[in-house]
Amino acid sequence: MRPCFSALVRALPVLTALAAPATAAEAPPPAAITVDAATGAVLEDRQAGQPRHPASLTKMMTLYLGFQAIGQGRASLETPIAVSDKAAGQGGSTLGLKSGATIRLGEALRALVVRSANDAAVAIAEHLAGSEEAFARQMTEQAARLGMTATRFHNATGLTAPGHVTTARDMAVLALALRHDFPQHWPLFAATSMRWGKASLPTVNGFVASYPGAEGLKTGFTCPAGYNLAAAAHRDGRAAIAVVMGATAKDQRLSLASGLMNKAFKAPPGPLLAQTVNLSSAPPDLSAIVCDGRGGGEESATPRLPKGWAIEVAGGRDRAEVKRQLAGKMAELRRALGGGSTAIMIRPTGGALRYRGLIAGLAEDKAVTVCLKLRQEDENNCLVLPPPAVEGAMETERRWRMLSAR
């Protein structure tokens, strides 16, 4: 392995400044930075030292430690890794791994890049460190060694957590380190698809699929973080890294990164990345803007159940199976219920993720009568949800989606 790129990053001391905490109401503009990939010279800096929620940019460090384990001979691309209940129960973007199954390390690493798979990230963490918590400590230690002075990790996925924080400046440091320290694995970031079972799954990274000369890297999204992107590209013999954190929509994220990259190939070099100031403040929470309908956030997909009572008639870990069961129950019960609307809701349970099939928008007497009849056959066949419980189901899903990393 070549000497660590952190030597370049550490060329000058990193400064720390104080800044007043930002609030969601301030709607701060995205933080961004571009750097020359060969020299580490900063080409543009837009509040790159402002603390931010990393979301799935976190997985860049998960990948770094995975590549490191391979380079040190502690694992190989063919190493089978077990899928625990915790890994299988991850929400957000996943491969749908089942508890007790195995996946090759190489497949899991590719799933992080192409699909931002949270279940694969936790499986990797547990295999390499024994637990996700231990792996997160290793991630933070490695960040310090690389010169990522404002970064602390508390998980392998990017799920929002207190103290799980970084800056655009630090993510640029990590992107440069990945490019320099693991050139043999760098082409993985340009992957536009992956085979999983009989399916070909496309990348979730719009930059790598659309920008001329893109070398890829990583997207990230949660409601508090907004839309993040670390991007790498080359043109006319010059290579650059761009990081955008806190965009309010996918299109804005892609447009900003593309614009920054276009300027980077014409920009004169500035100071080294090590001279970029990391601020000391709380990261802004963009949830109200990104996920409450004003910013086009993906989390608006939480089902809005009609008013009234509901019954739960299907449930399980496999969403497709719950959907099939729910459709069958609706066809069977529609006349007796006098109507109703179906919805599949998320129910996190003990660290695992389950789906519940609901028929909502019912009159109280219909819901209670039909559910009692179903429970005479099997007490687990049906559960009645009065209106407050229906509201609670929507709120549970909304809160879960706010934390789900992509």
Bridge partners, residue 44, by sequence: 34
Q: What is the CA radius of gyration of the chain?
A: 23
The CA distance from 366 to 80, in Å, is 51
Out of 6, 84, 93, 116, which one is annotated catalytic?
Answer: 116
Catalytic residue list contains 86: no
**Pair 210, 254: CB distance under 8 Å:** yes
56: annotated active-site residue: yes
Alpha helices in 281-339 (DSSP H): 287-290, 319-337
Distance CA 345, CA 260 (A): 39
* CA 63 from centre of chain: 14
| Cα 280 to chain centroid, rounded | 24
Beta-strand pair 278-280/16-18: parallel
Length of the chain: 406
* Whether 59 is catalytic: yes
* Active-site residue, from 6, 56, 258, 287: 56
User: Is the CB of residue 86 less than 8 Å from the CB of residue 115?
Assistant: no
Q: Which residues are catalytic?
A: 56, 59, 116
